[in-house]
């Protein structure tokens, strides 16, 4: 049972290895949503995510014999680092099975904590199946990343910290992969205040909990597809499903495009790097129907490799019309390029890239294509630039930008 006594015990235990992540009031998101929005920055934990809470508390409940046999788990990265760090604290061997798609930063950091890393499968579920096989073959103690009541209790300590800082909190948004974090947070929140609303947030391409709640039982998705790798789970936890069914008030699903924009907003307005899974709650803020509520969005982690970060930033700029590509046709004669450039310059557009295609027409004197990738201030500025090109005799056509 997940009881107040156990949550209090877990809170005392995890305090030994966690950093204080005080709530951050967000003027930006509060103004956007009409609510008082607070961020719980678990991306600032030593291992870069909340997962250390559940891993360390779980290990503290094991017998010395169970730890001596060696520990094994499967994870897309954050639980891996949590178990690896906790195992190091307890002097235990740790083997971590990670999907082959796991970002390099998570793989390397897990190794740096002294764990042995095995890469297997494309998604978490395949890695987990392989981890169970290795556990049986080698006698390791398996530490499940979410379908474990002790792990969920450790994760739930986040809710206790939220209530201590913001006793009158109305709503808590929590990311959902397999459901461990949502179980701990929602269960403790309801114990402390039955009237509070706890909403789970899943990526649209991996909505296993929403499908399970709709079916009234745990179901497995055929496939998952999302940039939120930390929540790319096909099946929610069996043991924790009754708690999720009882304590979650709603589930919101978020498309990947909204996570991309949320990353850009978070970097620009809060100067924080939050991984895609951690941004689920931020992206969900605009989907809330309530107004004038005290809302806490849990930022579950910040472990993102630089290549992914670069791609997300670029795509975010494109989605916000801060970068766009336009195609114009012009005669192939001296001065035409200068004329186009002058029109753009007068509108304060900044040219990033030019592509000149002479073979768009048989008659080059009639027309060649010029593709211009531009930097703008946003949608309204983009419209002004397009309008200016139109007024100067060009017929600009938007082109899907590929960075």
- Catalytic residues, by residue number, are 51, 300
Nearest partner of 46 among 9, 23, 15, judged by Cα: 15
CA–CA separation, 98 and 74 (whole Å): 6
Q: By C-alpha distance, which of 302, 303, 7, 298 is closest to 152?
A: 7
Q: How far is it, in rounded angstroms, from Cα 47 to Cα 57?
A: 15
Strands of the sheet containing 141-142, edge to edge, are: 116-119, 94-98, 71-74, 141-142
Q: Could you give the residue ranges of the DSSP H alpha helices within 21-155?
A: 27-33, 51-61, 64-68, 78-90, 104-112, 124-138, 149-155
Bridge partners for 137 per DSSP: none
DSSP 8-state symbol, 142: E
Helix (H) or strand (E) holding 210: helix 208-215
Report d(CA 106, CA 34) in Å as an integer.
36
CB 210 within 8 A of CB 183: no
Beta bridge partners, 141, equal 71
44/22 Cα distance (integer angstroms): 10
């Amino acid at each position: 049972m997940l009881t107040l006594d156990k949550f209090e015990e877990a809170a005392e235990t995890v305090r030994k290895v966690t950093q204080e992540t005080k709530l951050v009031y967000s003027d930006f998101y509060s103004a956007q949503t009409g609510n008082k929005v607070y961020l719980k920055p678990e991306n600032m934990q030593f291992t870069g995510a909340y997962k250390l809470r559940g891993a360390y508390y779980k290990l503290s409940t094991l017998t010395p014999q169970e730890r001596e046999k060696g520990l094994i788990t499967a994870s897309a990265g954050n639980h891996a680092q949590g178990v690896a760090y906790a195992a190091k604290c307890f002097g235990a061997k740790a083997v971590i099975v990670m999907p082959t798609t796991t970002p390099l930063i998570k793989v390397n950091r897990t190794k740096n904590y002294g764990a042995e890393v095995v890469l297997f499968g494309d998604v978490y579920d395949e890695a987990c199946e392989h981890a169970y096989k290795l556990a049986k073959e080698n006698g390791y103690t398996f530490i499940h990343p979410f379908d474990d009541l002790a792990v969920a209790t450790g994760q739930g300590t986040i809710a206790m910290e939220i209530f201590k800082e913001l006793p009158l909190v109305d709503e808590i948004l929590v990311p959902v992969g397999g459901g461990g974090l949502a179980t701990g947070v929602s269960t403790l929140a309801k114990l402390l205040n039955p009237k509070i609303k706890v909403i789970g947030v899943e990526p649209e391409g991996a909505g296993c909990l929403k499908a399970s709640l709709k079916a009234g039982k745990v179901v497995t998705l055929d496939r998952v597809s999302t940039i939120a790798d930390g929540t790319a789970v096909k099946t929610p936890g069996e043991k924790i499903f009754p708690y999720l069914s009882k304590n979650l008030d709603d589930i919101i699903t978020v498309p990947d495009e909204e996570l991309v924009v949320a990353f850009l907003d978070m970097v620009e307005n809060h100067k924080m790097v939050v991984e895609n899974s951690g941004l689920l709650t931020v992206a969900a803020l605009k989907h809330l129907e309530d107004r004038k509520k005290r809302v806490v969005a849990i930022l579950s982690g910040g472990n993102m490799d630089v290549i992914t970060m670069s791609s997300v930033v670029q795509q975010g700029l494109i989605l916000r019309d801060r970068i766009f590509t336009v195609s114009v046709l012009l005669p192939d004669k001296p001065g035409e390029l200068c004329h186009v450039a002058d029109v753009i310059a007068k509108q304060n557009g900044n040219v990033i890239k030019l592509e000149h295609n002479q073979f768009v027409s048989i008659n080059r004197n009639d027309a060649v294509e010029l593709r211009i990738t531009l930097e703008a201030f946003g949608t309204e500025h983009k419209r002004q630039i397009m309008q200016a090109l139109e007024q100067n005799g060009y017929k600009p056509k938007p082109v899907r930008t590929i960075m």
